[in-house]
Amino acid sequence: MKRKWVILLQLLTVIPLLVILSGSFVVAADPVATFLTVEAQEKTDRFGEEYLAIVAKLTKEDGRAVGGRTITFFKVEDYFGLSSIKIGTAKTTAVGTASVKYETLREGVHQIEAHFTGDAEYLPAKIASGLNITNVMTVENGSIGLQPIQNAGLMLVGAIVLVVWFLLAFIVFNVFFRISRAGS
């Protein structure tokens, strides 16, 4: 009888202790490694306009998606030496993808980087990739038949600038030559 009570007491103390310890083991688990991929995609916004997006995907080692994490996008450009310029930030969706709009006028290979800084659960990840951008946006002034007016306007402005420069030159001449001459 006494032995039964001892076993029961042991169960009541050991089991909760094991539960607590197992919980602390879960909290203290090492952060999981993550991996990033990046690609350029053509997307359509809610107004039906097409745009170019840089899409990154954050996954675990087993390929499962990591959602709700912030990805920062950079492009590497050569401004007196290579440097990373921030494009923007976006959070990963449930399928692990985060995308930012990418506006460029230059076709060719763009060096793009995506960074995930990591947190308590996941280790940081980084990817740098050369993306071949082909379908770039173009900027053109709309032609609505106002070209003759535009040309005449530019010529008029140019003529006004010339008149102003002539007047300035006249004043300088007036002052430097006529005042000096009148004083000598």
Footprint of other proteins on this chain (CB under 8 A)?
Answer: 45, 47, 75, 77, 79-81, 83-89, 101-103, 141, 150, 154, 157-158, 161, 164-165, 167-168, 171-172, 174-176, 178-180, 182-184
* Least distance between other proteins and beta carbon 19 (Å): 45
Token pair belonging to 111:
């060096």
* Alpha-helix runs per DSSP H in the chain: 2-27, 147-173, 180-183
Q: Which DSSP category does 66 fall into?
A: -
User: What H or E segment, with its residue span, contains residue 173?
Assistant: helix 147-173
The three-state secondary structure class of 44 is strand
* Least distance between other proteins and beta carbon 133 (Å): 14
What gap in Å lies between CA 112 and CA 106, rounded to an integer?
14
* Closer to other proteins by Cβ: residue 19 or 168: 168
Rounded to the nearest 5°, which phi and psi values hold at 172? Answer: -60, -45
* Least distance between other proteins and beta carbon 11 (Å): 57
* Closer to other proteins by Cβ: residue 15 or 172: 172
- Name residue, tokens 């042991």: 10
* Closer to other proteins by Cβ: residue 59 or 73: 73
* Least distance between other proteins and beta carbon 120 (Å): 25
* Closer to other proteins by Cβ: residue 10 or 83: 83
